[in-house]
Amino acid sequence: MTLPVETEGLTKRYGHVTAVDGISLTVRPGEVYGFLGPNGAGKTTTLRMLLGLVRPTAGSARIFGEAPGAPGHLASVGALIEGPGFYPYLSGRDNLRVVARYSGTGEGRIDTVLDLVDLRDRAGDKFGTYSMGMKQRLGVAAALLKDPRLLILDEPTNGLDPAGMADMRTLVRRLGTAGTTIMLSSHLLGEVQQICDRVGVVAGGRLVAESTVAQLRGQATLRVVAEPLEHATARARALLGADRVRVRDGGLDLAVEPEKAAWVNAELVDAGVAVSELRVRERTLEEVFLELTNDVG
Amino acid sequence: MWGSFRAETIKAVKRPATWLLAAIGWILSLIFTYLVPYAGYVGDTGGPTSDRLLSDMLPANLVGNSIAGLPVFYGAIMIILGVLVVGGEYGWGTWKTVLVQGPSRMAVFGGKLAVLAVTTLGVLLGTFALGAVASVAIAAAESQPVHWPGPADLVTGVGAGWLIAMMWGAFGGLLAVALRGVALAVGLGLVWALAVQNLLAGIAAPLLDWVAQMQKGLPGPNAGSLVATLGAPADTPGVDALVGSGQATLVLAVYLVAFAAVSAGLLRRRDVL
């Protein structure tokens, strides 16, 4: 199976600074892959290497089996990298005509992509007069011109207002549902949590985790606040095993299925423990992300 | 490369700076080749060149008059044009937009050179056309017979002018690529064309023999030599037959190829940041 994106030991050094350090990742056909990391983690440099804009110091990258720079390596790839770059004296439509001519795809899809990003009404205006959000949407429109099988979007919601961000999420979901493979770099974790199938987390130039969002967030736990805490801890350990009970912040985190909450409550009460709080607790992607990236930092 | 050429065409045609540069070139050419000399001739202003011959402004001298500015001031305009055509992507951060569409870097650069060639030719032909109109007007005003240069002379003149214009344009392109920007490239290009060349020719060469010899290998003096052999007025800045037309043509062609090759090499090798 030819993977849309595959890197192995991808490394980029600038002098003594290692921007990307041996990243090996895969993006599978049809998935929406979130590429996460704090600013300066190496996300954009990695994407630039994938697209042939930056030459790797070591390692390899392949898009649909083709190395960057090979003829046709970007034939079915649309990309928006580090903000939209267009000609300010040209209209939005003329900018897309320029892009279409470079890509050799013809100009037949220009109206379609303008509609997709809701920019058709302003397509005749000069790019220099666009708001940040409109510029961003034109960047996405340009990325979609080729009707790509793989779409690489680097912080696509930058500059968008909440409504624009919601529209962008809807668009990405729709494209993903239609079978387009999407690699999405973002630091907006709520956004990634909502739309991505799998994520790769990069920190300090290294890939520190790669899995589905659910796996990364781990199993939901029960949060219990009870008194006396020592008694509650002993009872919970007897019920569930010591390794599934963690004392934290004056309460307990129990690694147990949420549907067993009533049973846990009854057992604790029967043991003379006063339970003042019992709720299901799910780790957010943000918490996981901070744990992973702080470990590296 | 055809797609890149077509894309570059939209950019060049719709870019106001392209037309502004062409207009400046045409206006300056008209003013300093025809209007000022004619005013001096008619008014007998007593200026040092007010006795310039009427015959210099007539259609028979169209070739020399149309390419006389290329060694210096028109060359400076061509340098700016080259910087803008090749280096505009740096200023707007559009290299990434262009290259992620899939064309090879060499195809994009080839498209840029092709558009630069068409643009410089267009500007040059415009200069010839305006010169023709101005010289005919002067001939009519002075009741002089109109004699045009022969077709071979016209083709030679346009060809030589195009070679010089492209050489300067490629120089501008190289500056833009090497400096990864527009502003400094334009500044340094102008410093070279308008200041350094004149200092070498006017101050250094008369004092130092090796500078005088070195000049014979520099682009400006070779451009000046080529246009001088094709009839450019000798009192035009930069026009001086230091070398023969054959050597000048060869040296200019070598510079054109070298500027383009070095630019291509840098573009191919460097990361797009």
Mean pLDDT over B196-225 rounds to 88
Residues in chain B: 273
Question: Who contacts B74 (Cβ-Cβ below 8 Å, separation ≥6)?
Answer: B25, B28, B29, B127, B165
SS3 A4: coil
Percent of chain A with pLDDT over 70: 99
What ipTM was reported for this prediction? 0.88
- Residue B196 burial (CB count, 10 A): 15
pLDDT of residue B54: 83
* Closest chain A residue to B90, measured at CA: A85
What's the order of all strands across the beta sheet hosting A198-203? A77-80, A150-154, A181-186, A32-36, A198-203, A206-212
pLDDT of residue B180: 95
> Which of these ranges, A64-68, A182-186, A244-248, B40-44, has the smallest mean pLDDT?
B40-44
B104 interface with A at CB cutoff 8 Å = yes
Mean pLDDT over A10-27 rounds to 94
Q: What is the pLDDT of residues A122-153, one digit of tens each?
A: 999 999 999 888 899 999 999 999 999 999 99
What is the residue-averaged pLDDT of chain A?
A: 89
Who wins on pLDDT, A178 or B169? Answer: B169
* Closest chain A residue to B106, measured at CA: A69
Question: In the numeric block, which tokens belong to residue A184?
Answer: 């999405």
Residue type, B1: M
Q: Do B103 and A48 touch (CB under 8 A)?
A: no
pLDDT of residue B94: 95
- Residue B242: pLDDT above 90? no
The minimal CB distance from B3 to the residues A55, A71, A104 is found for A104
The 3 state secondary structure assigned to A281-293 is ECCCHHHHHHHHH
The minimal CB distance from B94 to the residues A72, A82, A85 is found for A85
Q: Measuring CA to CA, which residue among B77, B67, B79, B80 is closest to residue B168?
A: B79
Q: Would you place residue B212 in the very low, low, confident or very high pLDDT band (cuts 50, 70, 90)? A: confident
The minimal CB distance from B100 to the residues A79, A86, A98 is found for A79
Beta-strand relationship, A32-36 and A181-186: parallel
Q: Would you place residue A284 in the very low, low, confident or very high pLDDT band (cuts 50, 70, 90)? A: confident
The minimal CB distance from B99 to the residues A52, A78, A97 is found for A52
SS3 A1: coil
Question: In the numeric block, which tokens belong to residue A260?
Answer: 């067993």
SS3 A223: strand
pLDDT of residue B192: 92
Domain ranges for chain B: 2-269
Mean pLDDT over A30-35 rounds to 93
* Closest chain B residue to A138, measured at CA: B97
**Distances from the Cα of B51 to the Cα of B37, B101, B145, B163, B258, angstroms:** 9, 59, 20, 32, 42
Beta-strand relationship, A5-14 and A58-63: antiparallel
Q: What is the pLDDT of residues A199-234, one digit of tens each?
A: 998 988 999 889 888 887 777 788 899 999 999 999
CB B127 within 8 A of CB B66: yes
CATH 3.40.50.300, domain A5-216, yes or no:
yes
CATH 3.40.50, domain A221-281, yes or no:
no
Question: What backbone torsions phi and psi does residue A77 show, to the nearest 5 degrees?
Answer: -120, 130
Q: Which of B1, B95, B97, B182 has the highest number of chain A CBs within 10 A, making it the mutation to test binding with A? A: B97
What is the residue-averaged pLDDT of chain B?
A: 92
pLDDT of residue B47: 58
Domain ranges for chain A: 5-216, 221-281
Q: Quick one: which H or E segment has residue A234?
A: helix A229-240
CA distance A11 to chain B (A): 14
Beta-strand relationship, A26-27 and A32-36: unpaired
Rg (C-alpha) for chain B, rounded Å, is 19
pLDDT of residue A183: 95
SS3 A90: coil
**Distances from the Cα of B148 to the Cα of A4, A119, A287, B129, B152, angstroms:** 65, 55, 83, 12, 11
Q: Do A101 and B10 touch (CB under 8 A)?
A: yes
pLDDT of residue A64: 93
Residues in chain A: 297
Q: What gap in Å lies between CA B73 and CA A297, rounded to an integer?
A: 57
Q: What is the pLDDT of residues B25-62, one digit of tens each?
A: 999 999 999 999 898 888 765 555 555 678 889 999 99
Q: Do B14 and A102 touch (CB under 8 A)?
A: no
Q: Which residue has the tokens 């898009």?
A: A63
The minimal CB distance from B96 to the residues A71, A81, A87 is found for A81
Question: In the numeric block, which tokens belong to residue A263?
Answer: 């049973």
- Residue B206: pLDDT above 90? no
Paired residues of A26 in beta bridges: A6
Q: Where are the beta strands (DSSP E) in chain A?
A: 5-14, 17-23, 26-27, 32-36, 58-63, 77-80, 150-154, 181-186, 198-203, 206-212, 221-227, 245-248, 251-254, 274-281
Question: Who contacts A261 (Cβ-Cβ below 8 Å, separation ≥6)?
Answer: A222, A278, A280
Residues of A within 8 A of B93 (CB-CB) are 83, 85
- B46 burial (CB, 10 Å; 0-12 / 13-18 / 19+) is exposed
Q: Measuring CA to CA, which residue among A60, A15, A7 is closest to residue A183?
A: A7
Mean pLDDT over A52-67 rounds to 93
Q: Do B99 and A51 touch (CB under 8 A)?
A: yes
Residue type, B146: V
Q: Would you place residue B113 in the very low, low, confident or very high pLDDT band (cuts 50, 70, 90)? A: very high
Q: Measuring CA to CA, which residue among A141, A132, A129, A118 is closest to residue A91?
A: A129
What's the order of all strands across the beta sheet hosting A251-254? A245-248, A251-254, A221-227, A274-281
Q: Would you place residue A295 in the very low, low, confident or very high pLDDT band (cuts 50, 70, 90)? A: low
